[in-house]
Structure 1
């Protein structure tokens, strides 16, 4: 029988050949079969072999396998195979269970806009399966609880959903935690942000239009004033060239002739 092992701790397995065997010493080998079904020898281990004399012609052969248990050994099959010199073989295969827990993983978008869906998943690979609890920082209220993997979902989030969310994993006598900071941006910020980007271009366009209008207006006034001055100069010149001789001058001119 193989008890449940613990990751990181040293484990020793013992394989004993049938007690009523005498003669030459058998060969005892250890192999293990992983999840993919591939058989290989256990790495990072040490073996020890000894023979015990039970009676004058009776011996018992014992082989021990020592290794550090890890998560890769969980749910694998370990086989002890005994080969006697006479060609007879026997073997025993048992399944190994190892208590372990890997790193906590949190996936999901933590930066949201108002009205979005908050979807956070906390999971951890472990044996036995861990209990996972979601909660808020500073609150004892359990938001969600599940085994192995827990998904926290909030629809139509608001800025009030912002804060730190805690994933607590309960595995055997340990309770490791992991955190994620969630930020929910108000909806107005989204529009204001777009306005703040477009507004300078709007102001520049209006300013350019007003400047062009003013230039055209000034040019129109300048042309109008120039035409008025030209007409006045022409009338003055014409008035100077006009002969204005009264009847008195006609009389004087007549007498002189």
Structure 2
């Protein structure tokens, strides 16, 4: 009975709270009565661009009880920003941080089963961080933490090759997130010296890196491999480059000499014909 009275007083105070931080402090101050356990099935969740992220949170449901005394609060652990809150049998979003407006939701039909998971859409780099799921019932309060990461699969690398008199340059370009591991391997698997640059926010788009990586070789024959790894998303791209081109400078000399010989032969024939005709 005391627990029920205490919960009612708490909800009344939360309803009239003018500051989200104060609300969180009130929820944290509830003394545990009975037994409630809040857990995060996955301590770390990776959100992929274009897909919603679900932060799992489970609590011990109360058999036979309704949700009138249930309070669920999601917040950022770093600065206690309110991400989503639920009490009085409905979402209470007037104190929700502006950056999460219309981006979060609970699975309401699963609350009675002990599922307080949070769904976030349009996830981006700004959402990366630690989240806290706090659940209060008539049996007490408990909380769990989850780390949210964000990644974008790198696009198929685009190859470009340029030649000069002394060297050949091979370059790959791709876009993705976060920063990748890049290497160039020789024919025997040895690491080759290369130049790589990353541009943030390509085309003004937040949460995307534009990668340019190039390798220069003085030899006309190449057998190398470009490697790009996005460890967060377990993406491993390997693109072999194998080609050779002939040095045409010596061939040009041979062709020029051949043309000169042909020309001289023609001149000799003409002179011989003129001499023969003059004698006639």
Q: Rg larger in 1 or in 2?
A: 1
TM superposition score category, shorter chain reference: 0.3 to 0.5
TM-score by length of 1: 0.47
Give the number of the structure with larger relative contact order, counting CA–CA contacts within 8 Å between residues 6 or more apart: 2
TM-score by length of 2: 0.44
